[in-house]
Structure 1
Amino acid sequence: MNLSGGGDPRAWELWIEYHRIRLIREFDELLCLGHLRNIDHYWYQIETVSQVLRRFGGRVLLADEVGLGKTIEAGMVLKEYLLRGMVRKLLILTPPSLVSQWREELETKFGMDFITTEDPSYREGAEDFWRRHDRIIASLHTAKSRKNIDTITAIDYDLVIVDEAHGLRNKRTVSYRLVNAIRKKFILLLSATPVQNNLLELYNLITLLKPGLLSTEAAFKKEYVKRGSLRTPNHPDKLHRLLREVMIRNTRSLVDVKLPKRFATTLYVSPLPHEKAQYEQASRFCRDFGAAREHASLWTVQNLQMAAGSSPLALRESVLHLLEKNEGITTAEAGRLRDLAESLRGGEASSKGVQLLQLLKAREDKKIVFVKYLKTLEYLEGLLSSAGVPFAVFSGGITGPQKDQAIARFREEVPVLLSTETGGEGRNLQFCNTLINYDIPWNPMRLEQRIGRLHRIGQRRDVFVFNLCLAGSIEDHMMRILDEKIHMFELVVGEIDTILGNLDSERDFGSVILDLWVREADEAKRRASFERFGEEIIEARKIYEKTRALDNALFGEDYEA
């Protein structure tokens, strides 16, 4: 390398960086902090990551209370190891509903690209998939299947991360045996509720991390489990000392996280006659399209139905895209889609649009309006312009300087920010405390992420959330479950995901509600199906609350590693 003054400046910078990294032999300085994007990280997370690297040697149970950022901590550990060249072959195992969320978080917040078992390359050749790719996110359900387990356990991994690791609590399950058999240098287990039923579950998880730490199962029961009650610890102080060798648990009382209240209102807007006809036309097509195919494309039906709940322009774009692709669509179906697109040319009044303007004009405080689709964003730009409401626009498609300008304009000049779901990540928006969801994400965690742009550390005022959905739509049924059955907006951020994880289903929440919607054409039967699903979620919340109480009793509110 030419180190003279006339050399390549970039090469010189790389040389300096190389030697800087070599000089940091311990983990006193975290390299990853300079490589994080759109992310707020807090002191306790930095301390946790340092402890994982220095004290625990990369084998640890991260058991922070829900909402304190275990995913962020795991991502920081992963990034640190990558920057130091200590890992290459990576495997992240999650519940099916979290695969895409993990991929997005690692890409947008840590600049790391992963391939997943939801990608076409997995379906094209499963065995080669695991060997060919160095960074994989997979659902545990997929990984443990008979066709994959032998291949995965024959590969040497540098780092394995298991989210919702309480799913490994039973050592007799295929999931446990898989993770135990995987050859791995480092392993991170993530669970806010590591003990679901009894102390033997904790023994099983700890044995995955550090075999022998808790001795044999019989010896563990004799020493640490009160006779006659598998849920009650014997010698809890001694057990805590051992757990501090493999477990970190941050609690709200420990890290002093205090947030203002949040108040949510869901407005069920009666559709205008033409809107009702268009929505029913789209829903009938989705039902018929799915019924005509034993293995219909879930994405096709889901995207059309979601777009129908957002705006006519979003639905029209989805219809035209489907026609343009023309994959497996019959002549009759194409005709129905063209008729639907023709009815969606726009120009007609919108019931949700009218409701939005009323909300925007009711008070003068600043408001963020979130949408999923760019076409819906375009529609709202025209609506607000015509109504004389000043606004700024923030979307993933604009440049960095344009994003800075939009946020500055929102802060200083205009009362409204129109934003796509990526809007405001990692930016200080706490000067605003009112949020309007013009459309409703089918993934409850997406809904929480939107609210989390405002309801976060640093917000000093109560936060107000307004959800708009068409009466009689799939979003209507969904919000009555989330809002009225389990009171989602009263939960701590992250709790809803843990609750849904207690459902006896390998499918994500959006897939379940779509299936309930398209399966029944009769409104009364459909409503009954959603009612039964709501009861299942109520039971799932009860399970979560019992588990949380057990873990708090075991570890205490002030437990720390």
Structure 2
Amino acid sequence: MITSFHAKYFAHELTRRHGANDTERLSQSLFDASVDLNPHQIEAALFALKSPLSKGVLLADEVGLGKTIEAGIVLCQYWSERRRRLLVICPASLRKQWALELEEKFNLPAFVLDAKTWRDTLKKDQSPISQKAIIILSYNYANRIRDDLKSIAWDLVVIDEAHKLRNAYRESNKIGQGLRWALEDSRKLLLTATPLQNSLLELYGLSTLIDEHLFGDVNAFRSQYVTAGGDLDGLRQRLSGFCRRTLRNQVTEYIRYTERRAITQPFRPTDDEHKLYEAVTAFLQRPNSYAIPKRQRHLTELILRKLLASSSLAIAGTLETMKLRLEVLRDEKIQDDPDFAEQLLRDEDIEEDLLDEILSIDPLEDDDTTPKPTIDRKQLKEEIDLLTQLAAWARSIGTDTKTRSLLSALEIGFQQLATTHAQRKALIFTESRRTQAYLKDYLEANGYAGQVVQFSGTNNTPEATTIYQDWLTANQGTGRIAGSRDIDIRTALIEYFRDQASIMIATEAAAEGVNIQFCSLVINYDLPWNPQRVEQRIGRCHRYGQQHDVVVINFLNERNDADRRVLELLTEKFNLFNGVFGASDDVLGSIESGVDFEKRILTIYQQCRTPTEIEAAFKALQTEMDERIQARMIDTRKLLLENFDEDVHERLRLQLKDAKAQLDRFGKRFWSLTYFMLQDRAQFDDVALAFDLTQPPKPDIAAGRYHLISKTTPHANKPLLEVAEDTSQEVRAEFGAFLYRLSHPLGEFVIDQAKALETPSAHLVFNVSAYQNRLLVVETLRGKSGYLTLMALAVESYEREEYLLFSAIDNQGLPLEQETCEKLFNCATTVSGAVVIPDSINQRLDAEAERHIKATISQSLEANNKHFNDAREKLEKWADDLVLAAEKALKDTKEQIKILQRQARLATNLEEQYDIQQKILKLEKQQRRQRQEIFQVEDDIIAKRDGLIDALERRLTQKTESKRLFTIEWVVI
């Protein structure tokens, strides 16, 4: 049992702000996070927090190592430090995934901001970007509201898939330029697995997103590092300050990876099915058609191709939609429908990458002032008739060959799972919502009744609603209901799949933000052409926490040469389906845009008529891919970004051990503090690390069961961290229990009340004999007594740092070390009564405390001086870069003059010589101007550098405040 003195000490210790270099800084965020602890993620988070003067870092771990988790730890730490102006910018397709990860894994509120939520928030008279939550934006929308973003002093901005902005330094990159401007004063955390793909200038571009003072201008960077003989060792050294990369082969000691095993499921369409495919293809290949809007022709054709390959019912429904559109056009109710492709995407639940592409098209491309062509009524009628015929033909197919082969694929897949004792579960992906519903009905009627669940972007089927309502009822009064239908219904459906269903049929919505490690069979009923999308699908199951090899089944139309070549390309070039790691991030990163890659393949389908043409087109595409995936650039990336520290494994091992020790102590103290503060309000179960709150202290805190450890089944007689590191695949609360964290309103209440406890001077008896382990430094005090005071010190410099400083003396007047005092409070303790501390003792303790405070302030100043010196060195190198660029320009002019002078000597006629002399005169004039300007340029650069350094030096000035928490008389027995 602890005392009020312990409670006050523990409450301050659990929430104090550690210095940037203090390894205990992450204790709060790691404790609050429902994630397994991996040492490389701890190291990455510490790297991101290491310097208060840094304007950001780039985390470039290989695919599958949890960069999102690393960023989540950092966001969680900022949140726990009450720095809550936090922003996440990511591709539109990842917004929901980010919201779910932050909610589920870190208990952090998230708010996805887009045009709709912006309008809805304004209607409530609220500020859209001043939410009590982490705001999540797409790239496009962030650029659209860049003026609003600029007005906020963000504590941290996370930019995911940052390689998409690798050309941000170019004026032509409007989104990159807009985000650079809007966020230039904010600290950034960039995430990408592919920081360097084709050119070293990509590293320069990413650096400008973080801090414009990391390097000089692009010309200086190019002359130092990009040209032949560039100083790559120097570049590596400079990158080490803001870029960190971990490889998968460095963490195999901590993360178990399973294999991928690919199976191809061939099917041979009937003659009728094949003729339908050929007829629809011929229609899509028409050079001019009213059925396909001109403005979005390529994307509409791409969507129709996906649906044609999916199922006869999928293309039938779409052909009917196209026919209805033409009938409206015939009746002259509209001229064209610019939202047609967007409507198809939403109807079929196709991936948001394509929707992003549509929304990014400039509406001005369709200028209303452009004269509209006269409608050819004969052609329009012919197209309506043809669409009617094709749709009827598609519906007449009934159950097609591909559907029937799904039963065989499932049986083969389940047989493979049986060999590894994996659960009998299959995740089937389709690119059509119509196909999804059709397959569910077919499987239910063919041996899988009651075993199939659907998952889509809206999840609005009657079955999904029933599952959702049942889940809400089962979880009522627990901490598991997020309150957002989107989040909760996704959780309900996934848990239904985990606990009851055997098969989940999913549209592309399940390729994002869903973790299904309990399933190890993925079936690509429809295979996307975009390799990044395929990798995302497989990654739902083949990821950290998967216990079994993952079987991937791909369907192949044997009568379609283009389909066969697409599968070969994805298998052989992208290595998506076999091996431990699947697709290499090097290879995936070589595709600037998955949608653009799909468009390239669409061109082959649209333009190539014969097997020979198809073969030649795919060979050309594969050759281009070979050229883009350059061995030279891969070697350069290794040289610049990979960690060659031979002790990396040992360092990670020590980091994990230290973090475990810190969190074990953290958890025990939080549990003891909670027990002390709520003992009259709750019934405690020490074995389960749970308690039943019967008398909530505040109206916004619910009664019920609270669980300290975020695992299903805690174990008795284990340290907290051993429980937290158990091998269960999912991190979740005990059923029916609230997750009890430091950031929970009840946890915050406990902390605040403990800090406010009255602690008048008293006599405390510390019983070292009752402690379960040996405390040697305390045992030497057995039989001794003395006095002790605890001071809280806050130092304000580049960041706020908080310290708890013990000052103590024994009965012989000898001082006690800080570590000894800390360990005293591990002992069982009793309070034997109030005491009055003699003035002489108070004076002695005050003198000891003053010395301790001064020493701590000096240590803080020394640490901040190091940050200052690092920042000054960065600015000096930046200035050197710019001066070098000016000198390089002068040197280039001299070289040009020399070349022209040689040419003049070799000129064969007067006219040629005259032209060369005129060029020389012009360059000599430029040379004189450059000579005059170079000193001015240098002076300007140095003045700017010195101004920046002076500003840093002024911030170095420290402000301190201290207060006494308590003073006691102690005795050790």
TM-score higher than 0.5 here? yes
Query: 1:185 aligns to what SS in structure 2?
Result: coil
In the alignment, the residues of structure 2 paired with residue 489 and residue 527 of structure 1 have an alpha-carbon distance, to the nearest angstrom, of 22
CA shift at 1:311, angstroms?
Answer: 1.4
Q: Alpha carbons of 1:290 and 1:92: their partners in 2 closer, same or farther (altered >3 Å)?
A: farther
Equivalent residue number for residue 510 of structure 1: 598
Contact 2:259 2:579 in 1 (8 A): no
Residue equivalent to 2:477: none
Counterpart CA distance in 1 for 2:206 and 2:537 is 33
What is the match of residue 407 of structure 1? 498
Query: How far does the alpha carbon of each residue in 1:252-311 deviate from its partner, in whole angstroms, 9 at most, with x for none?
Result: 233333412212133342211222122223323333387665423444333322112111
Note the C-alpha offset of 1:61.
Answer: 1.0
Matched residue, 2:875: none
> Residue 249 of structure 1 aligns to which amino acid in structure 2?
R
Which runs of 5 or more residues in structure 2 are unaligned? 1-10, 19-24, 103-109, 120-127, 329-333, 338-379, 419-423, 472-491, 653-973
Question: 2:759 — aligned with what?
Answer: none
Query: 1: distance between equivalents of 2:230 and 2:274?
Result: 56
Counterpart secondary structure, 2:316: helix
**In the alignment, which of 235, 250, 254 is matched to residue 254 of structure 1?**
250
Which one of 379, 383, 389 corresponds to residue 333 of structure 1?
A: 383
Name the counterpart of 1:278.
Answer: 276
Per-residue deviation, 1:165:
3.2
Aligned to 2:941: none
Matched, 1:387 2:446: yes
SS at 2:286 equivalent: helix
In structure 1, C-alpha distance between the alignment counterparts of 2:16 and 2:451, rounded to whole Å: 44
Deviation string, structure 1 residues 89-135 (Cα, Å, up to 9, x no partner): x5847xxxxx343334335544542439xx9x9xxxxxxxx999986
Q: Give me the whole-angstrom Cα distance separating, in 1, the residues matched to 2:164 and 2:229.
A: 20
**Which of 78, 98, 117 does residue 106 from structure 1 map onto?**
98
User: Which of 535, 543, 552 is equivalent to 1:448?
Assistant: 535
Query: Paired residue for 1:538, among 626, 631, 637?
Result: 626
Structure 2 letter corresponding to 1:409 = Q
Distance 1:467 1:211, change over 3 A: same
Aligned partners of 2:387 and 2:571: how far apart in 1? 34
**Matching of residues 57-206 of structure 1 within 5 Å:** 59-71=56-68, 73-74=70-71, 86-87=84-85, 92=89, 99-110=91-102, 111-115=110-114, 136-138=137-139, 158=154, 159=157, 161=159, 163-165=161-163, 168=166, 174-175=172-173, 181-182=181-182, 183-196=184-197, 202=203, 205-206=206-207
Is the CA contact (8 Å cut-off) linking 1:61 and 1:248 kept in structure 2? yes
Which residue in 2 is equivalent to 1:469? 556
Alpha-carbon distance in structure 2 between the residues aligned to 1:109 and 1:557: 28
Check the 8 A contact 1:193/1:548 in 2, yes or no: no
Using the TM superposition, give the Cα deviation of residue 187 of structure 1 relative to its aligned residue in structure 2, in angstroms: 2.3
Cα distance in structure 2, aligned partners of 1:344 and 1:220: 59
8 Å Cα contact 1:164-1:191 kept in structure 2: yes
| Matching of residue 371 in structure 1 with residue 429 in structure 2 | yes
- Which residue of structure 1 aligns with residue 521 of structure 2? 434
Q: Distance in 2 between matches of 1:395 and 1:105?
A: 19
Contact 2:180–2:209 (CA<8 Å) still a contact in 1? yes
Instruction: Give the alignment's Cα RMSD to 1 decimal.
Output: 4.8
2:44 to 43, 48, 56: 48
| 1:460-486 CA distance string (max 9 Å, x none) | 433221100323175444223212444
Contact 1:448 1:493 in 2 (8 A): no
Q: How has the CA–CA distance of structure 1 residues 277 and 536 changed in structure 2, closer, same or farther, with 3 Å as cutoff? A: same
Tell me how far apart the structure 2 counterparts of residues 48 and 498 of structure 1 sit (CA, whole Å).
21
Residues in 1 aligned to 2:269 and 2:31: alpha-carbon distance in whole angstroms: 48
What residue is the counterpart of 2:408 in the other structure? 358
CA–CA distance in structure 1, aligned partners of residues 398 and 27 of structure 2: 59
Q: Is the deviation greater in 106-115 or in 507-516? A: 106-115
Unaligned regions of 5+ residues in structure 1, if any? 1-18, 94-98, 122-129
Q: Helix, strand or coil for the counterpart of 1:282?
A: helix
- Partner-residue secondary structure (3-state), 2:569: helix
CA distance in 2, matches of 1:23, 1:465: 47
- 8 A Cα contact 1:260 1:455, kept in partner: yes
Taking structure 1 as reference, are residues 455 and 548 closer, same or farther at Cα in structure 2, changes over 3 Å only?
A: same
| 1:139-194 CA distance string (max 9 Å, x none) | 69x96xxxx89979987774372634386379566447666545341223334343
Instruction: Note the C-alpha offset of 1:60.
Output: 0.9
Matched to 2:439, the amino acid is L
From 627, 633, 638, give the equivalent of 1:552. 638
Contact 1:437–1:466 (CA<8 Å) still a contact in 2?
yes
- Structure 2 length normalisation: TM-score? 0.44
Cα deviations by residue, 1:207-234 (Å, 9 ceiling, x for unpaired): 6534555689999999x97997326415
Matched to 2:251, the amino acid is V
Q: Give the whole-Å Cα distance in 2 for the aligned partners of 1:177 and 1:296.
A: 27
Contact 1:193 1:547 survives alignment (8 Å): no
Secondary structure of the equivalent of 1:336?
helix
User: Does the Cα contact within 8 Å between 1:131 and 1:155 map onto a contact in 2?
Assistant: no
Structure 1 residue 445 displacement after superposition: 2.4
Q: Deviations over 1:356-402 (max 9, x none)?
A: 22233345433514132333233323333443346622323224435
CA contact (8 A) 2:260 2:580 kept: no
Q: Percent identity?
A: 26
Q: Supply the AA of the counterpart residue of 2:498.
A: I
Cα distance in structure 1, aligned partners of 2:218 and 2:287: 53
Change (3 A) 1:322 1:44: farther
Q: What letter is aligned with 1:406?
A: F
Q: Normalising by structure 1, report the TM-score.
A: 0.72
Match of 1:303 in 2: 303
